[in-house]
A and B are shown apart, each in its own frame.
Chain A
Amino acid sequence: MNRRWRSPLRIALALLFVAFITLPFVMIVLEAFGTGWFGMRLLPAGWTLKWFGWAFATVDLGTVMWNTVVIALIATMASIALAIPAAWMFARYALPLRGVLIGLVLFPRMIPEITFALGVAKIFYAFHLTNTRLGIGLSHVILAAPFAVLVLISPFEGIDSRLLEAGSVLGCNTPQLWRRVILPLALPGVIAAALFSFLASYNDFVLTLMVYGPNTVTLPVQTYLSIGNGYTSVAAAISLLLLIPSLVFLMGLMRMVEPEKLLGGLKGA
């Protein structure tokens, strides 16, 4: 083949791939903003915001969104609180069967969610945790914590032990060492772990479906319910609204962290 054509061909392939990946998303956007989009039409006949209006009119979207965010924050905090000591142990100590133990931590993510969702549901029924935000948030820890542990291991491994020795010789007790040395140095990793945890909970559908109740409908569940009611355009509008808190959360985190300190943390690693 002519060398001249290789580069345009590569670009075309790349574009095709990106188009393939984003096509469903494009469909959702068209569905949410379009009217009269039937059959084999390439584009909707007209454009409208009414599906968003319907979404707000038929569903208590404020509550649904609040539920989703609160549950995701509970899941994030609990996951990080669990993942930090676990990842530290895996990263800094010579554990027997380390590989096997890490494998077990990841186990919930390797089996179909529906399998253990049933198990979680049984426990939740027993403890009357279904239909509470706290309960659903805690159930999401099973989804979020394995990722958080995995993400935190390598930043923890990267901390120079002499910095810890310096901290403790210079007067830090263990909590001070965590607050002033370890966590600042691992900050990029902690943020990444928090993001993964938040999104794992925020986007979860299968497990939530098993444990949700009338007071704890989340956005993914609501999207599903709206599709079930036949309102595909409303469901599309809701699924777009699903995106907003994730974006706000992401940008908020970026602002909270001074990029320079992030770099320092990375450099120290």
Chain B
Amino acid sequence: MSGSTLEIIGLRKSWGRLAVLQGIGLSVPGGQFVSLLGPSGCGKTTLLRLITGSLAPDAGRVLVDGADVTEMATHRRNMGMVFQNFALFPHLTVAENVAFPLHVRKIPAQAREAQVRDALAMVHLEALEARYPRELSGGQQQRVGLARAIVFRPTILLLDEPLSNLDAALREEMRIEISQVTRRLGITAVYVTHDQREALALSDSIALMNRGRIEQFGVPEDLYLRPANAFVARFIGYTNAVAVTVRPGSARIDGGEAVLHGIDDRGILGPGIAFFHPGDIALAPPPEANAAAHDDAVVARVEELAFMGDHFEYVVEDASGRRFKANVPIGGTVFERGSEVSVVLPAGKAVLVPRGAEDAETP
């Protein structure tokens, strides 16, 4: 079974003078799992509600399997939805909640019961079918929410931050559950989240949104290894940024002599930003003590260090006030607070993005 295709063309939505969505275009092939990732207020939930029809767009179209559903009433769109707060009906049991979409579709009792049983089995809740939602844990409630959203084989499954109300241990379990169920059904899924790890782990592709626009749309590896701009790089998890001037194959760190040799310049020449993961940055004794100074090193002072079990987390600051976070594995030299270190920025691990006008001050 392959899911329905979803196409979004030029969607715009404003609340008064506030433009929440400024022309969103997105094409999701059937059976794909796509995440709308972004900070709160970026418009991702609004986009979801335009897809379901809970809101009407100011402009633009929503197409499912090529058919325009923009003007179609929500209840006719045949979409499933999982909510952040579960939104289970408190007056109905687990089985009745799951049967709800079948009841309103007037599915005969026999078929209905079989489908409810299948859906509950899929989320491992057969034993709890007679319970009321308030008698379930958060994780169980969200599994009921998932079963209710897929029981009628919707064209598209929409998930609105379904893990946000669960505690950390359950979140992982539920994430795997969602991944298994959607892939087994081959259903097209749109997943809204602000958590980049969830998006990376679950998605076939990610639309990273910011201020009502899609900053980048691509497979997770693309966003991670080739972020389109500084916003994407930061949001996807790069915490260290240095302003650089890029030449073919190398980048000179602005405000100093250090040069990153052998960097992947990605065709960006001129002002850029080099991003590094905390785990990729190494700390070494300062240049005086270490005659063969790396010319890709920056001299800095240790501001903070915290023991995290398998590594030390350092925050260091250089003379110009630039801060770096470095996760250093235990077992090496430990640098005390206030001591001088040289920050080794590995050119091979750097991710370069062009530096636009809005990024001028940020690194």
Contact = CB atoms under 8 A, between A and B. Distances in A.
A184 interface: yes
Contacts of B105: 171
Given A170-B104, A180-B103, A163 B87 contact: yes
A176 interface: yes
Contact of A268 (B75, B90, B103, B149): B90
Nearest to B83: A162
Contact of B75 (A162, A173, A265): A173
Contacts of A173: 73, 75
B80 interface: yes
Interface in B59-101: 73-75, 77-81, 83, 85, 87, 89-92, 100-101
B134 A267 contact: yes
- Chain B interface size band reads 20 to 34
Contacts of B100: 167, 170, 180
A185 B90 contact: yes
Interface of A: 160, 162-163, 165-173, 176, 180-181, 184-185, 187, 260-261, 264-265, 267-268
Contacts of B148: 170
B75 A168 contact: yes
Contacts of B312: none
Contact of A168 (B54, B80, B90): B54
Contacts of A171: 75, 78, 101, 104-105, 152
Residues of A contacting B: mostly? helix
A237 B100 CA distance: 52
Nearest to B104: A171
A181 B85 CA distance: 17
Contact of A261 (B54, B78, B91, B103): B91
Nearest to A176: B104
21 contacts: A165-B52, A165-B81, A165-B83, A165-B87, A166-B87, A167-B100, A169-B54, A169-B74, A169-B75, A169-B77, A169-B79, A169-B158, A170-B101, A171-B75, A173-B75, A180-B103, A185-B91, A264-B90, A265-B90, A265-B91, A268-B89
Nearest to A266: B90
B161 to A, nearest CB: 12
A167 B54 CA distance: 11
Nearest 3 A/B pairs, CB to CB? A268-B90, A264-B91, A166-B87
Contact of B134 (A168, A176, A261, A264): A264
Interface in B39-69: 49, 52, 54
B238 interface: no
A160 B85 CA distance: 10
A183 to B, nearest CB: 10
Given A162-B85, A180-B103, A264-B134, A170 B80 contact: yes
Contacts of A166: 81, 83, 87, 89
Contacts of A167: 89, 100
B82 to A, nearest CB: 9
B132 interface: yes
A169 B100 CA distance: 11
A258 to B, nearest CB: 10
A185 B91 CA distance: 7
Given A160-B87, A181-B89, A264-B91, A165 B104 contact: no
